[in-house]
A and B are shown apart, each in its own frame.
Chain A
Amino acid sequence: MTSLEPPLPVPDADSLDAAASALVDGVATPEEAALVAASPGGAARLAALRAVSEAVGGPGLEQDPSAAASALAAALAGFDPAAFDPAAVDAIERRNPSSSAVGEAQGPEGPAPGEPSVPDLSSDREIPGPSDPTSGEDVGSGPVLTAREGLGTVRALVPRRGSSSSARWLPRLGAVAAALVLLVGIAVLVVDLLGRADDTGRSPAGDVAVGPTSAAPAGPGGTTAQTAMAGGKVLELPPVIDGGAFGNETAVEAIALRAAAALDNPPAPAAAEIKPLDDVQRCVEAGPNTVDEEVRAPLYQAEGTFQGIPAVAVAYEREGDPSRLLLVLALNDCSLLERSPF
Chain B
Amino acid sequence: MSVAGEQRSADPDEVSLAAARAGDRRALDDLLRRHQPRLWAVCRRLTGSDSDADDAAQNALIAIVRALPSFDGRSRFGTWAYRIAVNASLDELRRRRRRADPGLPGDADLSGPGAGPEPIATTVGPESAALTVDVDAALRRLPPDFRAAVVLRDLCGLDYAEIAEILGVPTGTVRSRISRGRSALAPLLSAGNSEDARRRPTSRP
Contact = CB atoms under 8 A, between A and B. Distances in A.
A307 interface: yes
Given A27-B160, A52-B185, A71 B57 contact: yes
A140 B167 CA distance: 27
Contacts of B157: 57
Contacts of A18: 175-176, 179
A103 B23 CA distance: 11
Contact of A310 (B8, B93, B168, B179): B168
Contacts of B50: 63-64
Given A51-B125, A57-B155, A98-B11, A72 B61 contact: yes
B89 to A, nearest CB: 9
A64 B41 CA distance: 11
A307 B144 contact: yes
Interface stretch (A88-96, A146-154, A196-204): A88-96
A332 interface: yes
Contact of B65 (A21, A60, A75): A75
A283 to B, nearest CB: 13
Contact of B142 (A8, A53, A79, A132): A8
A35 B108 CA distance: 38
Given A18-B175, A68-B40, A98-B14, A309 B168 contact: yes
Interface residues of B, number: 109
Given A96-B14, A307-B90, A11 B75 contact: no
A61 B97 contact: no
B18 A21 contact: no
Contacts of A88: 69-70, 72
B61 A17 contact: no
A213 interface: no
B138 to A, nearest CB: 8
Interface in A120-158: 126, 129, 131-139
A17 B145 CA distance: 18
Contacts of A76: 25, 28-29, 32, 65
A61 B76 contact: no
A131 to B, nearest CB: 5
Q: Which of A12, A102, A103, A333 is the most central at the interface, judged by chain B CB atoms within 10 Å of its CB?
A: A102
A71 B75 contact: no
A56 B97 contact: no
Given A113-B11, A309-B169, 8 more contacts: A4-B96, A49-B182, A60-B120, A67-B54, A79-B20, A95-B73, A101-B9, A113-B73
26 contacts: A4-B96, A5-B108, A11-B184, A21-B175, A21-B183, A49-B182, A51-B125, A56-B155, A58-B123, A59-B122, A62-B37, A63-B54, A76-B29, A79-B65, A88-B69, A95-B73, A96-B8, A98-B8, A98-B14, A99-B21, A114-B79, A117-B74, A135-B80, A307-B90, A332-B168, A338-B94
Interface of A: 1-14, 17-18, 20-22, 24-25, 27, 47-64, 67-68, 70-72, 74-76, 78-79, 81, 83-85, 88-89, 91-93, 95-103, 109, 112-117, 126, 129, 131-139, 307-310, 330-333, 335-338
